[in-house]
Amino acid sequence: MDKANDSDSVPDYHFHFSDENLSVHVDGDKQVSQTTTLVGSSSNYVTIKLPSGLHLKNLTHSTNGTGNETIHGGDSFYLWANLSYDNNYSSGAVKGNLKSYQPLVLRFNGKDVNGKPYQPVVYMPEDDPPSADGISANFYPRTVNVYAQYIDTYDNSVMWQESKGKSTIGSNYSVTASTSGFTGNGTKGAKGATYKETGKSKVTGKTGSTDVYVKFYYDRYRNNKVVYQNRYPNHQIFNQASKEVKVGNTYLWTIPKSVTAGGNTYDLYNNGSLQNANYTYTGKQPDKDLSQTFLYILRRSVTVNYYDNRTGKKIQTSKVYTLHQGDSYQENHPGITTTKNGKNYAYRFVKATGNTQKGTVGTGNIVINYYYDIPLAQVNLKKLQIYTAPASEGLPVKVTMGKVFYNYATSIGDMGTKKISVSLYRGSAKLAMQQYAAKSIPTNLTFTIPNSVLTRNTNKPYTVKLDGFSANDFDVSPAGGQLTTQGYTSSEETVEFNVNSNSSHQDSQKRVVMTEIAVGQPMETHYETFKYYARPIPKMKTGYGFAADVTLNYNNELGHDYNYATGVAEDNFTFRAPSVLQDTSYLNYPTKNGKVNVPMLSHRNINDSASAYQKNEGFKFPHVNVEDKTGKLFTDQQVNAHDSRIKNKLYDGKYQFYTPIWPDKSQNIPATYAVDYSTNPLGVNKVTLKIQDQLRLVAYMYAWMGSPTISKDELLMEPVNTDNPFPDGLPAGFTKADEQWIKND
């Protein structure tokens, strides 16, 4: 194109800003200036220098820049900065890039040396300055006031407000409460109330265009107090607790049903009665402090113990229950039973110790001790035995105690101090007594009935009693408390028996040796029995002997104890006959009062058992020896002693009693003599047996002139020739040996 022909093609270097003094406003989080336009040729441009923090928004080209920004003619733009930006900005005069020229005429003339398709016709110097203009805008920080308000949530009132400074609009702010809690003083909050922060203690946000009011909320609290206090006079406080409760909220206390103080327990007394469970104290907290006192009563125990007075040990589980100070109580000893050794006992109440049995509970526990006992032992007699003995010796008494059933250990004190007596009575007269401590009661004991109260051959009832004791100490049954039986003295008599009084020639005697009685049983009597026999003496001729046949059977029902009460002598028989019947040779049997006393020999068979003592005895005369030619009699003892009077051969005279061949001239044959077999005192009863018989001499051994019994006499003496004694032959009854004997003599 030929610009010489187009006037519009020549750029105009003039420019100006449509608005130079730009107003500034807030737009969101920015300060934004008024928009202005660079009015001028698009070929012209200016450079605006921006300070740090200031931005330029080119609306035409949609660019956003800082530092040095180029604006072309026709560009619209505005300045902007942060809200906190503070600068009264002025760009000063800025110049366009176009120079000032004079008008020129150009003609196309091909290309110049530079290849341009024109050729200057006129060339003018650049002497005029370019056009200049500028803009300004006042940026200043955009802030608002920030306040903290303290709100009472109870009535939503502002208790006070305080400034927290300023905050730039659009910036983030952070506000922290100045307190987390406080006590109201009437100016700040209700007087005396406690305030506690609720909700956030720090608030953040973005600042708007108006002042910021940050609210901190506080709940109003009032004190809620409980006091645990003794109900009684000193009213000591055991404990107290308090807490702050938000006004209007529900308060809740669990009041313990009991408290402990000084080692004691106190129970809650509320609404006029004791509480057996924790009490719930609750309600709405008013706008004032609350205090509630709860009363407690001292808990006391009542213990009732039941002891055995003898041992100090418990006989029943203690009765324990709870009362409280000021309560009334009353106790009484109950009946208590027990079983000992198969017997039921009701304990005897002895005493009470400790606190009184009735009263009002004070500050101490109540302890009442009841003491009881039962008898120490069950004691009874079992058996009483009285043995027969001579009156002069006294009567032995055996007492058998029943088994002692001890209700306590024998080691306790009362076993040694509590005593019981076993006494022997005849009628109401006490004859003897033995006393024993409870622990020393024997199984068996003995007495002797003194001879001073006894006479021969009598019997009396005697009683053994348990006495001299307290029924509280000894349990004695009525049946076992006393026993009575008969006591016999020895008869000490002589019993006579004539062998010819009955055809069996025997007799028996029975005497008491002991009586006994056991509890619940009748009296038993035990005996000794004498059974005796003697064969009658046949009719005799002088000079002949006869053998004795005497037996004695003795039985004692006491068995081994047959001689317990008195000594029992060996049984002996003595044959007694008039001394004129004793052979006058050399026998040395003793004589007394005109009687010869021939001690008899015995042979015995004894059976001794627990239930019986038996003795079967036979008695015979002593053995004698007959001298040849003289007919003299000698005892075995004389023979063994080689008695010098023995001159001739001796013959066996057997166990016989011989009468004289020629009785004393004072005796008239036939004659009858009273003889007997007498014993020593026998058995326990000292019975003397006298078995009576007759010795009848009916003829002589040798006939003699004038014999009154000539027809019965045994032998008639006739002289013979010794060389031929029997010339007429052997007489009847003779033998050749007899004949030879005569011849040899």
Per-residue model confidence (pLDDT) at position 98: 83
Least confident of 419-423, 491-495, 719-723: 719-723
On the CB side of 236, CA atoms within 13 Å amount to 9
pLDDT tens-place string over residues 597-610: 999 999 999 999 99
pLDDT tens-place string over residues 227-276: 999 998 778 888 999 999 999 999 999 999 999 988 899 999 988 899 98
For residues 566-593, average pLDDT: 91
Give the torsion through C-alpha atoms of 280, 286, 287, 290, to 10 deg: -40
**Domain 377-488 -> CATH class:** mainly beta
Per the model's pLDDT, the better-predicted residue between 304 and 119 turns out to be 304
Per-residue model confidence (pLDDT) at position 176: 94
Is the model's pLDDT at 719 over the cut of 90? no
Give phi and psi for 414, each to the nearest 5. -60, -25
pLDDT tens-place string over residues 456-489: 999 999 999 999 999 999 999 999 999 999 999 9
Domain ranges across the chain? 3-139, 143-220, 300-373, 377-488, 497-506+525-699, 717-745
Furthest-apart CA pair in the chain: how many Å? 259
Is the model's pLDDT at 123 over the cut of 50? no
Cβ atoms of 564 and 646 closer than 8 Å: no
3 state SS of 252? strand
Residues whose CB falls within 8 Å of the CB of residue 578, separated by 6 or more in sequence, listed in order: 594, 595, 596, 673, 674, 675
For residues 4-15, average pLDDT: 64
Superfamily name and number for 300-373: Putative peptidoglycan bound protein (lpxtg motif) (3.10.20.320)
Give the torsion through C-alpha atoms of 658, 664, 665, 666, to 10 deg: -120
pLDDT tens-place string over residues 724-739: 888 888 888 888 888 8
Is the model's pLDDT at 118 over the cut of 60? no
Q: What six digits make up the tokens of 15?
A: 């420019």
Rounded CA gap, 450 and 489, in Å?
Answer: 11
Rounded CA gap, 331 and 518, in Å?
Answer: 47
Rounded CA gap, 525 and 337, in Å?
Answer: 43
3 state SS of 415? helix
Residues whose CB falls within 8 Å of the CB of residue 625, separated by 6 or more in sequence, listed in order: 633, 634, 635, 636, 638, 639, 650, 651, 652, 653
**Bond prior to 478 in cis (omega within 30° of 0):** no
Asked whether the domain spanning 377-488 has the same topology as the one spanning 300-373, the reply is no
3 state SS of 288? coil
**Fold category of 3-139 in CATH:** Immunoglobulin-like (2.60.40)
Give the number of other CB atoms < 10 A from CB of residue 582.
Answer: 21
pLDDT tens-place string over residues 29-60: 899 999 999 999 999 999 999 999 999 999 99
